[in-house]
């Protein structure tokens, strides 16, 4: 499965077209702008650890997400229909399929089949903000403040998120622990509202403190993201993410 960086998926991805949904299930992104072609992840020493490329359908939605890491391919194919979205993941000779059920354009359940079968239910508040996901009875809960998820609780751990004043124009750049919810579909608005601003930091208790710094092009799209870890008062670069556009 694609690499999860320090329990935060920094999977900068996607297209920036219109955010409207039509009766055929066609859905743009929440943003307007460029399509991303490739994202590269580098360790602090400059060595490339992984990269991902994207292909899109005529409506600007990602249909193929192809990761390359440690000499292995990890590919996700997306199929969009009016009442469901199917994601097929092929990795190391195995196939994993997840079907997301849509009600009025929003995901309410998902069923994942592979080595095990997992069913997840999703719950929203009156503002169409995702507040809970229950994966085979295991809850993920989400707290929203000013249009952003500021806390995620999973297996007794709290992950607190802070945000800059910069608008989140770059699709799926900041996602959440265990990739729950799916970052691509979250940014598209299939899980209700998506984050309004770019993430500036994430903490897990007092021992895991992350901060994020960005560089932008002239249109405000992220071209580089750097993740730092602070430990015992010392700030250290962990990962550099570069974004290439079509």
- pLDDT single digits (tens) 82-120: 999 999 999 999 999 999 999 999 999 999 998 889 999
Count of alpha carbons within 13 angstroms of residue 175, beta-carbon side: 26
Residue 99: Cβ within 10 Å count = 16
Say if 25 falls within a structural domain.
no
Looking at the structure of the chain, the number of domains it has is 1
With a cut of 60, say whether residue 23 has pLDDT above it. Answer: no
Domain that holds residue 84: 36-245
Task: Give the per-residue pLDDT at 220.
Answer: 87
Q: What is the DSSP string of 91-153?
A: ETTEEEEEEEEEETTEEEEEEEESSSEEEEEEEE-TTSBEEEEEETTEEEEEEEETTEEEEEE
241: domain CATH number is 2.40.160.190
State the Cα–Cα distance between residues 107 and 49, nearest whole angstrom. 32
State the Cα–Cα distance between residues 107 and 127, nearest whole angstrom. 15
CB-CB contact of 160 with 150 (8 Å): yes
Average pLDDT, the chain: 85
How confident is the model over 1-29, as a mean pLDDT?
Answer: 37
Say if 48 falls within a structural domain.
yes
């Amino acid at each position: 499965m694609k690499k999860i960086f320090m329990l935060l998926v920094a999977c900068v991805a996607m297209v920036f077209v219109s955010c409207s949904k039509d009766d055929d299930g066609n859905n743009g992104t929440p943003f307007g702008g460029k399509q991303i072609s490739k994202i590269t992840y580098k360790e602090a020493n400059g060595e490339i650890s992984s990269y991902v490329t994207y292909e899109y359908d005529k409506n600007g939605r990602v249909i193929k997400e192809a990761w390359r890491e440690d000499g292995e391919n990890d590919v996700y194919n997306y199929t969009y229909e009016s009442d469901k979205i199917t994601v097929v993941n092929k990795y190391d000779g195995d196939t994993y399929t997840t079907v997301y059920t849509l009600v009025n354009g929003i995901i309410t359940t998902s069923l994942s089949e592979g080595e095990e079968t997992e069913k997840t239910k999703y719950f929203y508040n009156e503002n169409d903000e995702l507040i809970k996901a229950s994966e085979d009875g295991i809850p993920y809960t989400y707290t929203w403040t000013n249009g952003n998820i500021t806390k995620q609780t999973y297996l007794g751990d709290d992950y607190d998120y802070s945000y800059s004043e910069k608008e989140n124009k770059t699709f799926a750049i900041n996602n959440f622990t265990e990739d729950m919810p799916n970052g691509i579909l979250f940014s598209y608005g299939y899980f209700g509202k998506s984050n309004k601003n770019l993430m500036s930091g994430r903490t897990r208790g007092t021992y895991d403190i992350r901060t994020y710094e960005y560089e932008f092009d002239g249109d405000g799209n992220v071209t580089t993201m750097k993740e730092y870890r602070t430990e015992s008062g010392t700030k250290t670069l962990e990962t550099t993410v570069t974004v290439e556009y079509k």
